[in-house]
A and B are shown apart, each in its own frame.
Chain A
Amino acid sequence: MRPRWLLIPVLLSIAGIAAGMAWVDWSKGGAGSGLYSREWRPDPVQGYWDPERFYRPAQTVAGVYPAAECIACHEALTPGVVADWRDSRHSKPARRAPVACPDCHGADHQKLRMPTPQVCGECHAVQEQAFNSEKHYGFPSHVLAMERATDSKHFVDKPKGETTACVQCHSVATKCDSCHTRHRFDAAEARRPEACTTCHSGPPHPDDETYYASAHGKRYLADAQKTDWSKPLVKGNYTVPTCAYCHMRNGQHVVADKSIWQFGLRQVNPNTAENKVKRDRWVEVCMDCHDEDFSRRQLTDMDRERALAWQGLNRTERLLRELRSEKALYPAAGERPPYPTDWMDRMFPKERIGFFEGQASSFYNVSTIERDYFEMWYFANLGAYKAAAHGAPELVKQGHAALAQEEQSITAQAAQLRAKARAPRPDPKALWLGGEYTMHNKEHN
């Protein structure tokens, strides 16, 4: 018979897990979204980016209005909006009454709402359900874009006037007009790659550049004006694939169901049982135009590209961890501003190196070498990944050249840091803990 004391750690573990889950639930129960929902106080403009949680009606006009009266006033006040609505399918659907202002915004002008995916889902239930089903695949995904972004420490730490820039894109989770711009809400618009590029562009995700540089993108640029974009995204309707054609198979509102390499952010085993299913889904898409062998080869090439990128990233990450162990980083974590809302970070400061330590927030208030590694991981690595995924070999070469160059530069810096590790070490706190923005950041989060 086993001694009873063995039960104690088991019971404590169960209690600990239950308490942890309850804490996460409690943390997410505040006014905002994500783990910091009780602490996160966004700018007023967030009402437009996350209407369900933050929109408050202006209450400038009293009264309950039917659609005709809304249109009569707004024809004069905001004629562009009314003209867009008149051009939309909402104003003239085939077999039902028009979907007009009160259907989406409510009729009581004192209680107007900004439509959320749930509101759109009242009619577009299939799309809403598909969109919500992305939660099953985790993050990165559109549906979790707001919640997981605001889980990042820099969202809760940085002044909200700054992170407002980010939530514009992360609002893809909380409203539908990121892709179907108001008030036309045209599916044809969302089928075009340009619709994605407002957010899918720039250093960490140059989807636009890499797609336009690919054979697919070049063909798109040549054919775009003569293509009928009103057709559904199914085999045979298009001569060239676009973002939505490949990532939203048959127009389904799911982009995460084929996410094998997890956006290039962390190293994955691309051949797990789950990834084999995802791989088959990709092959099925490619086979709309290409044969199976060719399609599978592209994915295998992609595996090789990722493995090569991660060799360099892992070497560099190991080097940074060694510098951390040797206390060679300057300034070290305790000598620069901590995340103010993180008591663990204040009590036990530690440099965040690697995806699982929260490296996504390590782009400010860190030493130069850590920022350089952040850029290597987040910019050069993701640039190469996107180029490989979109079939732009020249940009893959460029991405890997950038990775090699940054590894070399970081290695040289590491040697200098090691050489100086035993030299006198002036206290860097005065340099890092003061300054106009640094103090503002400390006081406004």
Chain B
Amino acid sequence: MRHALWLLLLATLPALAGKACVDCHAGAAERSWALSKHGVIARIEAGRERRRTPDCAACHAFEAKAPAPQHYAKKTSRTEAREQATAGCGTCHSPRYVAEQLAAAQRGLTIGEMKRREAEALVEVARKELTATELAQIEKLFATLRDDNLRELRLGLAHQSPDYQWWLGQAALDGSLLRIKGALGEARRSAAAAR
């Protein structure tokens, strides 16, 4: 019954998903999905009778009675949202495959959060040591790391986009982290030179 509802939902999704969502969620949210295999197939096969892959509503409103995409992540706990979002994966993938993908995503995100915390600790140190001008540069780098790099990693992991996971995610986090270290190190050198 669950699978029948899933297929029914997939068949009726065009009205719910795609354009309507992208009107507000353009940019990284849309592109990270569009570049995933799910997004590629959905784009290539737009207009076909049977939809093979999930789009926005298929995961974010996985409840056949939902009249329109619901923002589950905001309305429910993160665990519940994830359960609802992944319930449909089993239509095509084995439980082990789904579990491995989710575990891999969790590991990737955990590492991303470690980078954020390492950077945050450095910013705390910088707030105590540096002048306002020096600090502003570091605060800006940290904002990029937290608000752009980490967000893009999360989107890449959730939407299965390798590019967002890696170059715009982990490798970008590495870049922001080393630049924070670099800026703090240079400020310390300048301070030592001034003494």
Contacts and interface: CB of A to CB of B under 8 A. Distances in A.
A169 interface: yes
Nearest to B165: A165
B68 interface: no
Interface residues of A, number: 62
B191 to A, nearest CB: 8
Nearest to B174: A364
A45 B144 CA distance: 30
Contact of A368 (B96, B179, B193): B179
Tell me the interface secondary structure of chain B in the complex: helix
B37 A189 contact: no
Contacts of A436: 114, 117-118, 121
A43 B103 CA distance: 10
B167 to A, nearest CB: 5
B127 interface: no
A77 B94 CA distance: 8
Given A80-B52, A165-B170, A169-B162, A424 B104 contact: no
B175 to A, nearest CB: 6
Contacts of A363: 171, 174-175
B156 A431 contact: no
B181 to A, nearest CB: 5
Contact of B115 (A84, A195, A437): A437
A383 B171 CA distance: 17
Contact of A192 (B44, B52, B117, B183): B44
A197 B163 CA distance: 10
Interface stretch (A116-124, A198-206, A299-307, A400-408): A198-206
Given A161-B111, A371-B179, A437-B114, A43 B104 contact: yes
Contact of A425 (B94, B189, B195): B189
Interface in A168-195: 168-169, 181, 184, 189, 192, 194-195
B181 A432 contact: yes
Nearest to A84: B52
Contacts of A76: 3
Interface string B6-18: 0100000000000
Interface of A: 43-45, 47-48, 58, 60, 76-81, 83-84, 87, 159, 161-162, 164-166, 168-169, 181, 184, 189, 192, 194-195, 197-199, 201-204, 208, 225, 330-331, 363-368, 371, 375, 420, 423-426, 428, 431-432, 435-438, 440
15 contacts: A48-B97, A87-B50, A159-B111, A166-B166, A194-B44, A198-B35, A198-B40, A201-B163, A204-B167, A330-B185, A363-B175, A368-B183, A423-B193, A428-B185, A440-B111
